[in-house]
Chains A and B, each alone.
Chain A
C-alpha cells in the first residue's frame, strides 16, 4: 500500500490524539494494579502490577464514610440510578414537550418555547438554594426522587427535538392521519422511530450529565446511603491521609477506573444505534 504524504500526516495527528486521550487512562489503570508502597516510592506506573484483585476488591467492598457503612459498590448503584433516571426522564419529557410545541398549534407555542429556552441561562448551580428549599420542603432530601426530579427538564434536548421534528415533512403527518393515526399513535409510531438516533445521542449526553453531577447530590444528601460516585471520589479512601499510614493511591486509582465504566458501557451499548442512524439517512 502506498500512502500519500497528507494521509501519513493525518494519521500521525489522529494517532497522537488517540494517545493523548488513552494514555492518562492507561496510566491510571496500570497504577491501580500496584500496591501503595511501590506507588509511593516510584510514582505513576506504565506497566501492570500484581495487586489488581486486592485493590479492586477493597474498593468495592470496604465500608467507608463517617458512619463506616457505605461501600463504593453502593455509590455506583446510586449514581447509576440517578443518571438513568435523569437521562430517561429528560429524553422522554423533552421529546414530548417538543412534540407539543411543533405539532399542536396553540397560540402561545412560540413564547413558551422561548421561555423554555431561556432556562438555559439559569442552570442548577445558579438556582441551587431555591431548588434545595423546594425539594427539602417537599421532604425529598435523601431520596432518589429528590436527586432526580429537579434535573429532569432539559431546554437543550427540547430544542434539539424541536428542530428535528420541524424537518419532518407535513405530508407524513397528513398521510398518517388519513391512515387513522391519532396524535398519540403518530408520536409512538412515527416520531419516536424516526428520531431513534437523536434519542440515543440525547440519552448518552444526558446520562453522562446525570452521572457527573456533583454539587446537587452533595447538598441533597446527608445520609451516606445516597452518596454518589463523584462525591465519593472526594471523600472515600482519604481518611488516613494525614496520619502515619501511606496514602491509598492504588485504591483511589482503581476507584477512578471503576467510576468510568458505567458511562462507557452506555456509550458502547447505544453507539450501534447511534452510528447506524448516522450512516443511514432515512428521509
Chain B
C-alpha cells in the first residue's frame, strides 16, 4: 500500500515526458547533445527548432529509442525508458522521407504496427478505416506508396502513426519534402489533428515559421544545447540569448555592436537612451525590423540603400556607421532607394545582449 502511494505521488509530480541531463556522444567523439533537460506535459505540442546539425534530430531519435543515450535519463509516463526497445516504448514517428513500406498497400502500411501487437483483424479494419477517413485517404487504401503523390504519402505516414494511438508522436521534419503550398496546408492539418486527439507531440524542424505556428512551446537548440524554452510569444518577444534573437523572426532581428555607458548605447554617432544604468563595453543592441518606427519627426536620419518590395510590406536596408540594418514598413509609405528617412528607436522595444556570453541583459 505504502509502495503504491509513493508510486502514485511520483506520477503526479512527474511530467509526462522527462529528459534529465541527456548527453549524446557519437563513437567518433562528436558531442551531438549536451546535458539537456526538458519536461513535457501530457497533450502538449512541443517543437524542437534549430539550425541543421544542432542535435535536435538526435534528441528526438533518443526519445524514440533509435539512438543510444550516452548519459542521462528519459522517462515517459513515469517509467524510465532508457533501455526499453523502441518497439515497446509506444511512440510513433513520422520520418522526413515518410519511410512508407514500398511493398505494402496503404492499408497494410497502416495495419502493420497493429498486426505486430496482436490486435484482431476486425479491430484493425475498423481502426484503419476510421483513421483513413479522418485523413481523407480512404480511397487510397489499396494503392502502393509508389502510386501516391507527396501530400498523400505524408498523410499515409501520419495515418500510420495515428492508427497506433501511441503515447507520443514524434515528427522528424516531415514537411520539408513538400512544396510551399502543400506545406502550409499540412501544417494546419497537423495542428488541427493534434488538438483534436490531444496526443503529446514533438515536432523537429529547422523552419522557424513552422516552429512558431505549430508549437505550444518551442525549444530552441543550438550546438547540442537548449538555448531557450518557451511559448512562441515568449521566445519572440523576450529572446534569452543572442542566438535565439537572430534565429527566430523574419526578417532577422538587427543587432548592433555597441558600447553602453550609464544606460546610453553608443552606435557610431547615434545615441540611444536605454533608461537604465548599465555599463557594458561589448554589447549587442537588438531591434526587430518592424519595431523601427519611421516618422517625419524622428530623431535619427539614415539613407535607404536598397528597398525590397514585398506587396503589403517593404524592407529597407540601410547603415548606421558601418553596421547594416533593415526595417520593415508598410509599402504605402513612398520611399525609394537613395532617399533619406527619419526614425525612432523606442527603448521599450530593444533587446540588449552581453557579447561576452551572448545572454540577455
Contact = CB atoms under 8 A, between A and B. Distances in A.
A280 B102 CA distance: 11
B359 interface: no
A192 to B, nearest CB: 10
Given A177-B87, A179-B113, A185-B116, A282 B146 contact: yes
A174 interface: yes
Interface in B250-280: none
B66 interface: yes
A190 B96 CA distance: 20
A130 interface: no
B87 A282 contact: no
Given A178-B91, A194-B103, A169 B144 contact: no
A140 interface: no
Contact of A181 (B92, B116, B164): B116
Contacts of A172: 99, 101
Contact of B99 (A171, A180, A182): A171
Contact of B87 (A169, A182, A190): A182
A190 B64 CA distance: 21
A282 B64 contact: no
Interface string A164-204: 00000101101111111110010001100110100000000
Contacts of A169: 97, 99
Interface string B61-103: 0001110000000000000000001111101110111010111
A283 interface: yes
Given A171-B97, A190-B101, A283 B146 contact: yes
B64 A178 contact: yes
A178 to B, nearest CB: 5
Given A193-B103, A194-B103, A171 B112 contact: no
A185 B93 CA distance: 19
B13 interface: no
Contacts of B332: none
A179 B112 contact: yes
Interface string B152-195: 00000000100010000000000000000000000000000000
Contact of B95 (A174, A182, A196, A280): A174
A29 to B, nearest CB: 41
Contact of A180 (B96, B103, B117): B117
B86 A178 contact: yes
A184 to B, nearest CB: 11
Scoring B95, B102, B160 by chain A CB atoms within 10 A of each residue's CB, the highest score goes to: B102
Nearest to A175: B99
Nearest to B89: A178
Scoring B86, B146, B164 by chain A CB atoms within 10 A of each residue's CB, the highest score goes to: B86
Contacts of B66: 174, 177-178
Contacts of A181: 87, 112, 116
Contacts of A177: 65-66, 85-87
B284 to A, nearest CB: 40
A174 B93 contact: yes
A164 B89 CA distance: 30
Contacts of A180: 87-88, 113, 116-117
A194 B95 contact: no
A181 B115 CA distance: 10
B158 to A, nearest CB: 13
A190 to B, nearest CB: 7
B99 A179 contact: no
B288 to A, nearest CB: 38
Contacts of B95: 171, 174-175
A182 B66 CA distance: 14
Contact of A189 (B65, B102, B112, B117): B112
Interface string B136-162: 000000001010000000000000100
Given A177-B66, A177-B86, A282 B116 contact: no
Interface in B17-73: 64-66
A282 B103 contact: yes
A177 B146 CA distance: 22
Contacts of B96: 171
A196 to B, nearest CB: 8
Scoring A172, A174, A181, A189 by chain B CB atoms within 10 A of each residue's CB, the highest score goes to: A174
Contacts of B103: 190, 193-194, 196, 282
Contacts of A280: 146
B102 A175 contact: no
B102 A178 contact: no
Given A178-B65, A178-B89, 20 more contacts: A174-B64, A176-B112, A177-B86, A177-B87, A178-B66, A178-B87, A178-B91, A178-B92, A178-B93, A178-B113, A179-B87, A179-B112, A179-B113, A179-B116, A179-B160, A179-B164, A180-B117, A190-B101, A194-B102, A283-B146
17 contacts: A171-B97, A174-B93, A175-B95, A175-B101, A176-B112, A177-B65, A177-B85, A177-B86, A178-B64, A178-B65, A178-B87, A178-B93, A180-B117, A185-B116, A194-B102, A280-B146, A283-B102
Q: Which 6 A-B pairs have the closest CB atoms?
A: A179-B113, A180-B116, A171-B99, A175-B99, A180-B87, A282-B102
